[in-house]
A = this chain, B = another copy of it.
Amino acid sequence: MSEQERRLFVSARMVAERAGVSRSAVSRTFTDGASVSDETRKKVLEAAQKLGYHVNHLARGLRERSNIVCLVVADITTPIRAKLVDELTRKLQAAGKITMVINSETDTESVSAALGMTLNYRADATVVLSGTPSASLIETCLANGQQVVLINRDDRLSGGHNLGVDNAMAGREAFFLLRRAGCERLGVVTSTARTASLIERERVFVEAAEEAGVPVTVTAAGPTSYASGLEAARRLFGRSQAPDGVFCVTDLLALGFMDGARDEFRIDIPGDLCVIGFDDIAEADWRSYRLTTFSQPLAEMAEHVVALIAQPAMAGQEKRVFEPMPVWRNSVRPAAR
């Protein structure tokens, strides 16, 4: 009884019986390039329509590529990540792939568990957006013929394709933008999540400042979030020597920081304080903020990922760096003459 109701999905054999042809005729009807006469094709299609037949991609995946791509991601709620997931799913779909999302934590163990899942489902490729998987597990994926793509992850990871943005350029550029606006005391607002990208942006900015002999203070008040930016403002402006130009390594941090500075300390932006962010999330363009920031070319990056996956295990590792584009808005004063 309970067994009977479980066996319900309609298979090619049932379609064949109904259409009065062999099962392979059905199979060939649904694979293009195979030769079927117009008459049988018509019969098959009609029977399939009647029965509600859909080719079983799981079974198909046993023989050839599964066309499954796994996205390993934490914190999908973050605007920048949501946007990236959106771009990837959309473009992968257009390329005939289906997307599995594995919502992982950022710790290595969780990411490794996610990688295991990816192998369980014989995914053609795995795209890691968050956290850093163990090198050995990446090796396993590669050995099993699975592509691995790491986005904005740690550079010193050996295996897999690697793509990210030029964080150093952004850090340097942010410094010059603030200097050109006449800022004398600089600050960096970053998060306690020690991601390679964030560290790099901070490091280059600080180095550029020190090289020019400009004082810099670094503040990390919590995870990469609006609340941490808010808290960073409290810490920074509670002191005596507050900065007048701040580079926030993330837009979310920047927006919280702006609100904290304005709401709790009545600081005018960009009059008394210039702020630069990174990511160019939708909220950065909202009227209350109009944040000057850097945009990641997410669409191009997604396109590149799809291209990488399309070709079967192309020339080993590849490292591709995209240029973030400065987006001028109103949180930084025009350059002083």
Contact = CB atoms under 8 A, between A and B. Distances in A.
Contacts of A117: 98
B57 A230 contact: no
Contacts of A90: 103
A224 to B, nearest CB: 13
B66 A58 contact: yes
A232 to B, nearest CB: 13
Given A101-B101, A102-B98, A76 B66 contact: no
Interface residues of A, number: 58
Contacts of A323: none
A59 B77 CA distance: 33
A128 to B, nearest CB: 16
A283 interface: yes
Interface stretch (A140-148, A166-174, A243-251): A140-148
A253 to B, nearest CB: 13
A101 B103 contact: no
B287 A289 contact: no
A322 interface: no
B61 A58 contact: yes
A226 B75 CA distance: 22
A260 interface: yes
Contacts of A98: 100, 102, 117, 121
A129 to B, nearest CB: 13
B282 A226 contact: yes
A100 B92 CA distance: 13
Given A77-B282, A100-B101, A259-B288, 20 more contacts: A5-B145, A5-B313, A8-B144, A52-B119, A52-B144, A56-B62, A56-B120, A57-B122, A58-B66, A59-B62, A76-B82, A77-B79, A82-B82, A89-B102, A98-B117, A100-B100, A226-B286, A256-B286, A259-B287, A288-B289
Interface of A: 5-6, 8-10, 52, 54-59, 61-62, 66, 75-77, 79, 82-83, 85-86, 89-90, 93, 98-103, 116-117, 119-122, 140, 143-145, 226, 230, 255-256, 259-260, 262-263, 282-283, 286-289, 312-313
